[in-house]
Structure 1
Amino acid sequence: MAGFPLFVATEWLEERLDDPKLRILDATTYLKPTEGYYKVWSGREAYDEEHIPGAVYADLYKELSHPDAPFAFTIPPREQFVEKISELGVGDGTYAVVYDRGAEVGTSTVANDWASRLAWQLKYEGFDDVAVLVGGFSKWKEEVRPVSTEPGSYPKANFTGERRPEMLATKEDVKKAMEDDDVVLINSLSEADFRGETNTYKRSGRIPGSEHVFFGSHSNPETQELLEDNRIRENFEKAGALDPDKKVITYCGSGIAATWNALLLNKLGQTNVAMYDGSMTEWTEDPSLPLEKGEK
């Protein structure tokens, strides 16, 4: 569909629940930072308990990540992704809306970055008719919209999109970017992570030269609505990320929150954006790679 939105409201989705071309994907995954890395588990049980009517469960943790990669949530081989996403019914002649149950930071739900991860992966593999549901399942429930316990299913689809390698940044790309004034590195983690005050990863700190744009700064934590575009624009402008002559590379811990920032940059018109999939997980495992700490 020409001009398909990157983000859609709960009202928009409910109006289309009976559309035979619609595919609803529940990407709920749970992650809790701990000393020395994360505790991660699938959201399938939560999906089984209740979900948006018609939705199918898309398992980012076990089925839509590389099974043999040394780091969690690594982009899977294209064949694996296409096979699984086709089984979920996403492909030619369909459009998809992805949601999750939110990412917990402190006590506030700040963003639906599991949904943005799957939406980003679909775009990376060449499928454009995909949107993230703003506010996710928690907002849907708060508004007393319909839910179901019946497992969803869609006919197997034919997925023919072509992969876009320019959307993905590697460790080598980031090493070069540290010395390139035409590339803006965006750390999407919390302020404490950015300053190197946490111990979630092998080493603490940030990639040298990085700017900080917390992925949770673009939403109202009470209503879970996205802020107005001009407010989000301010968040990125201070980092120099909206300069059309520059490339932006977003990163976080494992390439999840970074996709939220990447899609919002796209929404604001910045199209030259790549996401560093390995992020801090990969970077901090290599003792030869530098890190910065403290205020910038």
Structure 2
Amino acid sequence: MSNTPVVSPQWLRENLHNPEVVIVDCRFSLPDPTLGQQQYQVSHIPGACYLDLNEDLSSPVGEHGGRHPLPNADELATKLGKIGITNQKSFVVAYDDSRFAFAARLWWLLRYLGHEQVAVLDGGFAGWQQAGYPVTNEIPTPPITQFVPQIQAEKAVDYSYVKNHKDSPEVVLVDSREGDRYRGEREPTDKIAGHIPGAVNYPWPEVTDTAGYLQPTAVQQQRWQHIATAEEILVYCGSGVTACVNLISLEVAGIKTGKLYVGSWSDWITYDENDISRQSV
């Protein structure tokens, strides 16, 4: 099995019938939350099961925690077992059609639950189709297995941790959103525009090219060269989803210090006004 966080369509095609490979379709649309499920039912990679960002990869929204809070670990583990994922055994390949945006969330969640054998599909569903590989509308019935979570708590941080550590000289806080959202010039989703004071901007779309293929390793390393030696890199976005694409980038670059602020900006702005008084520049 590959140890890289990203696998090629060719690799997946060669392993399509490997019983230890589990494929998960993570396509999703924030403006239309039902679109991903509909696309999956029409056409998907053979053998792939579907996991929904809102229903499966997040828990219900509360007062705090952002727009996509962490799912309950036991409930997610049960769902993972129902689609045939066995911890420490299955090799999971997650894909979407959004330049890793949603597949990366599952990639990170599985690692958070102690399952390292997971990758995202380079080029996503479109890349698979462009390669001429097979698709189907058949819904699989995988054997039910048991997934036992072994939570790696150090991979995630919360509001208090970010507030108390972001100004430390050993810590770098990374905002993964596009530059105009970081600068507070545009905010299509959250009630307040801007960024967490002290954050630097590394937009997540830079991790891939416009077709959704991972930029070369050298490019990933160059992206992070100015902060590569930080003891901790705390990464956030709007709601803890696209930040995971930057965590993949860090992994490809060989940097192991990245942690996810799960609630991200949508959580940060629900707290004390003083903490967002310099939200824009």
TM-score (norm 2): 0.93
- Kindly state the Cα deviation for residue 281 of structure 1 after the two structures are TM-superposed: 0.6
Letter in 1 for 2:280: K
- Kindly state the Cα deviation for residue 100 of structure 1 after the two structures are TM-superposed: 0.8
Specify which of 40, 65, 77 is matched with residue 47 of structure 1. Answer: 40
Which shows bigger deviation, 226-235 or 210-219? 226-235
Q: Secondary structure at the match of 1:118?
A: helix
Q: How does 1:1-296 map to 2 (within 5 A)?
A: 4-32=3-31, 40-41=33-34, 43-67=36-60, 69-70=62-63, 71-92=66-87, 93-102=89-98, 111-199=99-187, 200-221=189-210, 223-238=211-226, 240=227, 242-243=228-229, 245-286=230-271, 287-290=273-276, 291-294=278-281
Aligned CA distance change for structure 1 residues 188 and 68 (closer, same or farther; 3 Å): closer
CA contact (8 A) 1:50 1:148 kept: yes
CA contact (8 A) 2:122 2:214 kept: yes
Q: Secondary structure at the match of 1:5?
A: coil
- Kindly state the Cα deviation for residue 129 of structure 1 after the two structures are TM-superposed: 0.7
Aligned position for 1:36: none
Structure that is richer in strand per residue: 1
Point out where structure 1 has 5 or more consecutive residues left out of the alignment.
33-38, 103-110
Q: Secondary structure at the match of 2:30?
A: strand
Aligned CA distance change for structure 1 residues 59 and 172 (closer, same or farther; 3 Å): same
Letter in 1 for 2:124: G
Alpha-carbon distance in structure 1 between the residues aligned to 2:35 and 2:164: 35
Backbone CA RMSD of aligned residues: 1.6
Alpha-carbon distance in structure 2 between the residues aligned to 1:186 and 1:153: 40
Q: Deviations over 1:88-110 (max 9, x none)?
A: 111143111000121xxxxxxxx
Letter in 1 for 2:203: F
- Kindly state the Cα deviation for residue 253 of structure 1 after the two structures are TM-superposed: 0.3
Percent of aligned pairs with the same amino acid: 29
Alpha-carbon distance in structure 2 between the residues aligned to 1:288 and 1:50: 48
Aligned CA distance change for structure 1 residues 14 and 46 (closer, same or farther; 3 Å): same
Letter in 1 for 2:24: L
- Kindly state the Cα deviation for residue 42 of structure 1 after the two structures are TM-superposed: 5.1
Alpha-carbon distance in structure 2 between the residues aligned to 1:145 and 1:49: 16
Number of equivalent positions: 275
- Kindly state the Cα deviation for residue 234 of structure 1 after the two structures are TM-superposed: 1.6
Q: Deviations over 1:60-93 (max 9, x none)?
A: 2112311353443211121111111111111143
Letter in 1 for 2:7: V
